[in-house]
Amino acid sequence: MDTFPATLLALAITAPILVGLILLAGRDLPRSFASGFAFGGFAIPAVLSPWLLILWSNPSTAPQQFQSEGFWGFGFALNGLGAPLLAMTSLVGLAAGIKALTQEVEGRNTYLGLILFMLGGTLAVFGTNHLVGFYFFHEFALIPTFILTLFWGGEGRRPAAMQMAIYLTAGAMASLAGILIAIDASGVEYGVATFENVAQGLQNAKSIPAATGALVLFGLGTLASLFPFHSWAAPGYSAAPTPVSMLHAGALKKFGLYGIILLGLSSLDITGGSLGTWFLWFAVANVVLVGLICLTQRDLKQMLSWSSVAHMGPIFLGIWVCGVSGKADGLDAAAFLMVAHGLSCAALFLLANAVRARAGTYRLDELGGLATRTPILAALFIAATMASIGLPGFGNFWGEFGIFLALRAQPLWLQALVASTVVISAVYALRAVASTFFGPASEALEKRFAAAPFGDLGWAERFAAFILLGASLTIGFVPSLITKSVNPVAAGITTFSQHNAKAPVKAVKPATAAPTKR
């Protein structure tokens, strides 16, 4: 069999890790050499992963062709959900890498090396289908995140990094317990404990310990900032250096969701019973309450951080409704939004930092009128904002809208609550745009400009933003790029979870009367 795709996959994942190792070891490598090397580490996956996604969507390549043995017992393997996320992560990684390369920091090689570790670990999470590998690589990616935030972060980095570390470690422990119990209950040997095998095993298992679903849901939910385990997220993203915020909020966060889908949704019945009820209310709180919290933010980066928490709400609801309704549409849309949100969110963090570099502050009341000085920055920022609030043409639209459609059989009040995000997000996002870029230039800004004139967005950052927004536009215009890969997985998981669900789902369809109650 042609194992070319597997080689590509292994290369895409190991390249950043190897380069990261070299940079960590060679702290005194000359600057230009280190820069070129690091760029290679960022660029290789960004070239290979989209290629892999296209290969994966091509029906003539079999899934087995993407599997390799690997060095550490659990080899790399791609699945339909991982493939688009892998591509997204690599693009976010490239953009973050470009940003990191333009930054002047102390211990630059270590900094770059750690970011490469983050990237490699995240890629590996999406590029393995082994449960232990999933857990291992997620820690592998998170530990550099803590270190980077602690040492290279901005204001309030110490408490933020500590809080993040405690939350995420607690979440990781809960999820590890859940994963181990699940593997144990499934009766699958550890060596072959892939998502599929474990799901299959749990399918046939006589009994699954009751808390397993909750451990997996809330443990991994903490990673994905599920309400009320979200308190770490906003300060964490705000305090982290920009490339880390981009990677963390854009890509790393998604592996909580990835695990919830592939383990929790497929075989642990997380949407049934009282756990399902809690899940629903927490997800709704993510949409509504966190959305309202966004409205009160007076700081651009804080606002972005909170909004990145709020945008997880629809994704959770897409997962939830898939389990409840037994239809794959919610999961398809949720997966789409995971990819699209990664791109738009990373672009926003990138550009917000460019705003700060010019205006010297993130405070919205001190900003204003930046568009006259920096039209391109303004245009890109508005584009990214529009992407994040679900303007058609960008990928986020399909995800959000698909989730609203997937909720169609739910009570109207629930739909209305969830859909209210289109108004809430528009209010806070446009307010931020208006107070940053529109209106007359603020006095503080004019003073800064007079003291040290600043130019428009530099070429490197422009390129990084173009990559992210271009990718978002591409999947916005050609959504089948993602759905072709995700559809079979979602359909498979749905059949599986339906098999597993205790109570049959009611599918009442009134012919004439409006469905106000399910």
Subset of residues 391 to 410 that bind other proteins, contact rule: CB under 8 A = 391-393, 397-398, 401-402, 404-409
Q: In terms of CB distance, is 136 or 466 closer to other proteins?
A: 466
In this structure, the number of other CB atoms found within 10 A of the CB of residue 64 comes to 11
Q: Which stretch binds other proteins (CB under 8 A): 10-18, 132-140, 258-266, 323-331?
A: 323-331
List 130's β-bridge partners, or say none.
194
Residues in contact with other proteins, counted by CB under 8 A, come to a total of 72
Between 33 and 413, name the residue whose CB sits nearer to other proteins. 413
Q: From CA 144, how far away is CA 122, in angstroms rounded?
A: 11
d(CA 349, CA 167): 22
Answer yes or no whether residue 426 interacts with other proteins by CB under 8 A: yes
423 lies in the binding site for other proteins (CB under 8 A): yes
The residue within the footprint of other proteins, chosen from 140, 336, 362, 381 (CB under 8 A), is 336
Decide whether 122 or 483 has the Cβ nearer to other proteins.
483
Query: x/- contact string, 122-151, with other proteins (CB under 8 A)?
Result: ------------------------------
Shortest distance (Å) from residue 41 CB to other proteins: 30
Q: What is the DSSP letter of 81?
A: T
Nearest to 220 by CA among 301, 286, 135: 135
For residue 106, what are the contacts with CB-CB under 8 A and spacing of at least 6?
none
> Between 359 and 398, how does the x/- string for binding to other proteins read (CB under 8 A)?
----------x-xx--x---x--x---x---xxxx---xx
Q: According to the binding rule CB under 8 A, does residue 441 interact with other proteins?
A: yes
Give the three-state DSSP class for 373. Answer: coil
Smaller CB separation from other proteins, 31 or 506: 506
Of residues 219-248, those binding other proteins (CB under 8 A): 228, 231
Q: Confirm if 370 and 446 have CB atoms less than 8 A apart.
A: no
Which residues between 58 and 97 bind other proteins (CB under 8 A)? none
Considering only residues 473 to 492 of the shown chain, the ones binding other proteins according to CB under 8 A are 478-480, 482-484, 487, 490-491
Least Å distance between CB 409 and other proteins?
6
Q: Tell me the CA distances in angstroms from 91 to 51, 85, 95, 260, 464, one per residue in order.
A: 12, 10, 6, 23, 9
At residue 130, the 3 state secondary structure works out as strand
Q: In this complex, which beta carbon is closest to other proteins, that of residue 34 or of residue 185?
A: 185
- Among the listed residues 87, 100, 165, 293, the single contact to other proteins using CB under 8 A: 293
For other proteins, the binding residues in 15-54 under the rule CB under 8 A are none
Task: Find, among 302, 305, 469, the residue nearest to 377 by Cα.
Answer: 469
C-alpha to C-alpha distance for 229 and 70, rounded to whole angstroms: 35
Residue 512 interacts with other proteins (CB under 8 A): yes or no:
yes
> Coil, strand, or helix at residue 4?
helix
Which residue in 11, 357, 427, 444 binds other proteins (CB under 8 A)? Answer: 427
Using CB under 8 A as the binding rule, whether residue 494 contacts other proteins is answered as yes
Interface with other proteins (CB under 8 A), residue from 40, 191, 470, 515: 515
Give CA–CA dist 346/324, Å, rounded. 31
Determine which residue in the list 25, 47, 173, 412 makes contact with other proteins, applying CB under 8 A: 412
Per residue in 205-228, is it b (16+ CB within 10 Å) or e — as a string? beebeeebbbbbbbbbbbbbbbbe
Q: Which amino acid is at 238?
A: S
Distances (CA, A) of 236 to 1, 77, 93, 363: 45, 31, 18, 17
Nearest CA to 268 out of 332, 219, 336 is that of 219
String of contacts with other proteins for each residue 295-314, x by CB under 8 A = xx------------------
